[in-house]
Structure 1
Amino acid sequence: MATDPVGRFLTALDPDHREAVSAGPREEQERLAAAWERELDTDDDLDSLDELSPAAAEAEAARRVLGREQA
């Protein structure tokens, strides 16, 4: 299991997004991973989901971060 923020973020992504983000610059990966960590830290709904399934909470936070990037 990845322990660095970028590795954890990439793991939380679905395979298609993981490939696309992995192909991008490291700085962009780090920026997205930081946004993902903020999402996990600040969203109370994700706290509830995290109690049931940490992986699902991380995946949902990743979807939200990418959704904001694409908007």
Structure 2
Amino acid sequence: MPTDPVGRFLAALDPDHREAVGAQPRKEQEQLAAAWERELETDDELDTLDELSPSAAEAEAARRVLARGTG
């Protein structure tokens, strides 16, 4: 399992999005990964989901970040 934020973010994505994001410049990948980490840290609903399934929480946070862009 990747330990860097970008690698963890990419691992949380579904295969189609992983490929698309992986093709973006590294700077954009880092911005998305940072937004993903903020989403995981600040959303209380994800805390609850994380207790049940950490990978599901990471995937949901990734989906939300992609849905709204780099925000």
Q: TM-score by structure 2 length? A: 0.97
Q: Superposed, which structure 2 residues align to 1:6-25 within 5 Å?
A: 6-25=6-25
> 1:1-71 alignment to 2 at 5 Å?
1-69=1-69
Percent identity (aligned): 81
Q: CA deviation at 1:56?
A: 0.1
Structure 1 moving runs of 4+ over 6 Å: none
The CA deviation at 1:37 is 0.0
Distance 1:14 1:50 in 2: 18
Q: CA deviation at 1:69?
A: 1.4
Alpha-carbon distance in 2 for matches of 1:63, 1:15:
12
Structure 1 unmatched ranges of 5 or more: none
